Structures are given as structure tokens and as C-alpha cells.
Amino acid sequence: MTMTEANEDTGRRASPPRRRSFPRIPAHVAVLLGLSAGTYSVFLAGTTALQAASESAVAAEKAPIVSALGQLADGHDRLSGSLDVARARYGEASEAYTSLVASIAAYEARIADLTGRIDSLQAEAGVLPDSIPTARPAATSAPVRQSTSVAAAPLVTPAPKPVPIATTGASGKP
């Protein structure tokens, strides 16, 4: 039920809503409030300036530490990169070693097979006699005849000694 409905029921006329009026503040109180707010803002600004100066001093003191931490982080990153490279090289070496081990095992198996063959050849050679008689040509006692029609000449004639054409003079002889 609204206010107008209630007034219609009672027969009274509705009155306009009342305005609240705020109490008036005396001028000296308003000036006092303004001065205290101004004073507070000045002190707050001073405190902020002191804190800023203090923080800049602390930051200046910590600058070498921050720089050292940056260098430490850079060194850590370089070391991490070096470890990654070493890890990759180790993996490659490990794979090469595994491949080499497989190759060595294959060679050892081949050597064992050859050893078995050598042993069987030695066993078969043990059955053979120590020496085998060979047929020698019969020695003849007849002298070798030379042809009388052709003068006997040696089969190989030595080459003549070369004759020097020029000298260098390096030995001191002209």
C-alpha cells in the first residue's frame, strides 16, 4: 500500500515530503578543518619524500648485489648451455660406444670361428707326414758342348759407363 492510498483511505491530504536540512557549520570550524587537512597533506608529502630518499639510498646500496646476481644468472645460463652441449656429446659418444661394442662382439665371434678352423686344419695337418719326397732331376756327367761355328759370346753384356758431358764445378775440380 502506498502513501497516497493510505491518505485516500483516511481522507487526509498528503503532505509533501520533508527536506532534511543539515546543520550549519560555523566558519571557524570550517577554517580549522581546512588547516588541519592542509597540515596533514604537507606532513604526508614530507613523509613520502623521506621514504623515497631512503628507498633510493637502499637501492644504491643494493646495486652491486643486483649486478652480481645478474652476472651469476648469466653464468648459470652459460653453464646450463655448456651442460646441454656436454650431455648431447655424451649421448653421441655413448651411441658410438654401443655400436663399437656390437662390432667388437662380431669380430670376436669371427675370430672364434677362425680359431676353430685353424684348429681343424692343424688336426688335419698332423695326419700328414713331416716331409714329402720330391723328384729331383738326374745329374748328368756329360760336359756341355759349345758350338764351334759361332764365337762364344756372353749372353749378357754390361752397359758401357756413361761419359760425363759437363761438370758443375761443385767438387772444386774444373
- Domain spans, the chain: 26-127
DSSP 13: P
pLDDT digits (tens, 9 = 90+) for 9-66: 566 666 666 777 777 888 888 899 999 999 999 999 999 999 999 999 999 999 999 9
For the chain, percent of residues with pLDDT exceeding 70: 70
Q: Please report which confidence band the pLDDT of residue 126 belongs to, taking 50, 70 and 90 as the band edges.
A: confident
Residue 53: C-alpha distances to residues 39, 47, 50, 58, 117 (Å): 21, 10, 5, 9, 94
pLDDT at 137: 62
Structure-model confidence comparison of residues 164 and 124, the more confident one = 124
pLDDT at 130: 73
Structure-model confidence comparison of residues 138 and 43, the more confident one = 43
First to last CA, the chain: 153
pLDDT at 155: 57
118 neighbors 112 (Cβ within 8 angstroms): no
Of 15, 12, 34, 37, the C-alpha closest to 25 is 34
Q: Please, what is the average pLDDT of the chain?
A: 81
